[in-house]
């Protein structure tokens, strides 16, 4: 029986209890018979019903008194008997009335108990039904929040597109839409051809769907403040540099940090909405493929390259070409910082890496370090960040608690605890280390 059926049944029981309760209280009202009002207590007739005449009276009055006095005496006796009978009868009626009232009161108490219990069941069933309704609405909140976030980003995209002034000679909106659709189709065809031929390619969404990935990052990667705090430690690696390039700059969090430190920089990103969001903040950002942009700048012209949470989106051939080109475009001694998810931490792999549907492949720290070294970068180091909080790790057993007594059983438990702690340390080094890492190298 579901909550709705229970609520209907409880309501029916409550209605029946209401009727029974009303009938019982009506019977109780009828059973309460108030005594009739009297002027005072009933007293028997007096013994001297007809007192003899006093004072100087005429003799004939005494004659009449002697004749009527016996009659009044008999009447007095009869009346006294009637009073006694009436009183006895009244007492009998009161006993009957009290018994009837007592019976009605018992029935009333029984009915009101059922009445109260039915009300309790009705309230409980109604509350349960409302709770289920509220829980259903609460369960829908994540879906609604996600849809609202995506709609918000889509609205921003449409508002931005509608607010842009078309330059002279540009095609009308309908023609521009056709052009964008044709461009998206061509990009898709080129990407498919590249996959079949083994050519390097960057992976991403079609421009018309860029807003969805922006909403995805809004939800899962964190707020602007969160991202800035995560990236802040890398700023000092670019101290004193000029012409830094942020590949996959996103919303421009790291560019804003570089600008605050007095470091000139610009960014590139393939996501049109990300670029628009960064430009809204006054940042120098270009919508471009990273490799295509690098190939367009002179060799040795960049004072540093930053690529945060980018390489896991790239196919292996594309990544190798990107690292080769990045080395050529950097000035001697300029740094390359490549941050990505740490798949050697199982928590990071299962909670972050596989959650993003645009990821191409995970990069083990040793692999990325090797790729930088193989493409000419020197002094390549690994820098880990975002350690897993201690409360999320496996907790060790307190060995001292077992060694306090020193007996054989305690020693055995202590040895077992040491084994458990050793295994927990092994699992912590696999499961719960650092969520992210960066491979840092310098052009020689």
In 3D space, the residue among 274, 301, 155 whose CA is nearest the CA of residue 210 turns out to be 274
Q: In this predicted structure, what is the pLDDT of residue 389? A: 83
415 and 272 assigned to the same domain: yes
Enumerate long-range contacts of 91-100, CB under 8 Å, 24 or more apart.
Answer: 94/35, 97/31, 97/33, 100/31
Structure tokens at 133: 């309704």
In 3D space, the residue among 200, 291, 192, 201 whose CA is nearest the CA of residue 248 turns out to be 291
Residues of the domain holding 215: 207-443
81 and 224 assigned to the same domain: no
* Residue 106 included in any domain: yes
CA–CA separation, 78 vs 322, rounded Å? 134
118 and 220 assigned to the same domain: no
116 and 225 assigned to the same domain: no
* Residue 148 included in any domain: no
- Angle at 189 (CA atoms; ends 184, 192), nearest 5 degrees: 125
292 and 382 assigned to the same domain: yes
CATH number of the domain at 407, please. Answer: 3.40.50.150
Q: In this predicted structure, what is the pLDDT of residue 208? A: 47
Q: In this predicted structure, what is the pLDDT of residue 224? A: 78
* Residue 186 included in any domain: no
- Angle at 29 (CA atoms; ends 25, 35), nearest 5 degrees: 160
239 and 383 assigned to the same domain: yes
DSSP letters of 221-253?
T--HHHHHHHHGGGGGGGTT--SEEEET-TTSH
117 and 228 assigned to the same domain: no
Contacting residues for 109 by C-beta, under 8 A, at least 6 apart = none
* Residue 277 included in any domain: yes
The last residue of one of the domains, among 139, 163, 194, is: 139
Confirm if 341 and 349 have CB atoms less than 8 A apart: yes
CA–CA separation, 252 vs 279, rounded Å? 8
135 and 250 assigned to the same domain: no
> Per the structure, how many domains does the chain have?
2
In 3D space, the residue among 338, 291, 327, 339 whose CA is nearest the CA of residue 444 turns out to be 327
Q: In this predicted structure, what is the pLDDT of residue 388? A: 87
Write down the pTM of the prediction: 0.55
Q: In this predicted structure, what is the pLDDT of residue 407? A: 76
117 and 221 assigned to the same domain: no
* Residue 215 included in any domain: yes
134 and 219 assigned to the same domain: no
CB-count exposure of residue 418 (10 Å: 0-12, 13-18, 19+):
middle
Contacting residues for 437 by C-beta, under 8 A, at least 6 apart = 339, 340, 342, 365, 382, 383, 384, 385
The last residue of one of the domains, among 121, 139, 157, is: 139
Q: In this predicted structure, what is the pLDDT of residue 358? A: 84
Residue 215 per-residue DSSP state = H
* Residue 179 included in any domain: no
* Residue 146 included in any domain: no
Angle between helices 272-280 and 210-220 (to 10 degrees): 70
CA–CA separation, 234 vs 440, rounded Å? 10
258 and 407 assigned to the same domain: yes
* Residue 184 included in any domain: no
The last residue of one of the domains, among 94, 116, 139, is: 139
134 and 211 assigned to the same domain: no
Residues recorded for the chain: 444
Per-residue model confidence as pLDDT tens for the chain (444 residues)? 666 566 666 667 767 776 776 676 666 556 554 444 444 444 444 444 556 666 555 565 565 556 556 656 655 665 565 556 556 555 566 566 666 666 666 666 666 666 666 666 666 666 666 666 666 655 655 555 555 555 555 565 556 555 555 444 445 545 554 555 455 455 445 444 444 444 444 444 454 455 555 555 666 667 778 889 999 999 999 999 999 999 999 989 999 999 999 999 999 999 888 899 899 999 999 999 999 999 999 999 999 999 999 999 999 999 999 999 999 999 999 999 999 999 999 888 888 888 888 889 999 999 999 999 999 999 999 999 988 888 878 788 787 766 666 677 778 878 888 888 888 887 887 788 899 999 999 998
- Rounded-to-10 torsion of CA 149, 358, 223, 430: 130
């Amino acid at each position: 029986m579901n909550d709705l059926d229970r609520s209907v049944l409880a309501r029916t029981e409550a209605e029946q209890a209401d009727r029974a309760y009303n009938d019982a209280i009506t019977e109780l009202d009828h059973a309460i018979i108030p005594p009739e009002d009297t002027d005072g207590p009933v007293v028997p007739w007096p013994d001297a019903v007809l007192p003899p005449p006093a004072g100087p009276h005429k003799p004939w009055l005494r004659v009449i008194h002697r004749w009527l006095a016996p009659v009044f005496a008999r009447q007095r006796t009869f009346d006294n008997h009637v009073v006694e009978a009436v009183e006895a009868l009244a007492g009998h009626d009161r006993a009957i009335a009290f018994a009837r009232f007592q019976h009605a009161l018992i029935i009333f108490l029984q009915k009101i108990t059922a009445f109260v219990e039915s009300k309790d069941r009705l309230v409980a069933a109604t509350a349960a039904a409302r709770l289920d309704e509220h829980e259903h609405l609460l369960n829908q909140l994540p879906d609604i929040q996600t849809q609202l976030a995506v709609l918000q980003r889509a609205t921003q995209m449409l508002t931005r597109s509608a607010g842009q002034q078309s330059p002279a000679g540009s095609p009308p909106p309908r023609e521009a839409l056709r052009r964008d659709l044709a461009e998206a189709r061509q990009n898709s065809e080129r990407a498919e051809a590249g996959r079949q031929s083994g050519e390097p390619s960057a992976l991403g969404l079609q421009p018309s769907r860029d807003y969805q990935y922006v909403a995805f990052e809004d939800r899962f990667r964190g707020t602007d403040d969160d991202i800035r705090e995560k990236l802040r430690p890398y700023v000092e690696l670019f101290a004193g540099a000029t012409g830094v390039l942020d590949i996959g700059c996103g919303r421009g969090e790291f560019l804003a940090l570089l600008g605050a430190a007095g470091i000139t920089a610009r960014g590139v990103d393939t996501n049109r909405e990300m670029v628009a969001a960064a430009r809204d903040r006054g940042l120098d950002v270009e919508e471009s493929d990273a490799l295509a942009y690098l190939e367009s700048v002179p060799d040795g012209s960049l004072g540093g390259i930053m690529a945060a949470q980018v390489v896991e989106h790239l196919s292996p051939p594309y990544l190798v070409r990107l690292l080769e080109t990045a080395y050529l475009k950097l000035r001697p001694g300029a740094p390359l910082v490549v941050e990505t998810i740490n798949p050697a931490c199982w928590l990071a792999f299962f909670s972050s890496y596989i959650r993003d549907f645009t990821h191409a492949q995970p990069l083990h720290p040793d692999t990325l370090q090797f790729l930088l070294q193989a493409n000419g970068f020197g002094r390549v180091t690994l820098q880990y960040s975002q350690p897993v909080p201690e409360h999320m790790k496996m907790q060790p057993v307190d060995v001292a608690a077992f060694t306090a007594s020193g007996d054989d059983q305690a020693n055995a438990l202590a040895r077992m605890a040491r084994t458990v702690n050793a295994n927990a340390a092994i699992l912590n080094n696999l499961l719960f280390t650092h969520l992210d890492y960066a491979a840092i190298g310098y052009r020689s």
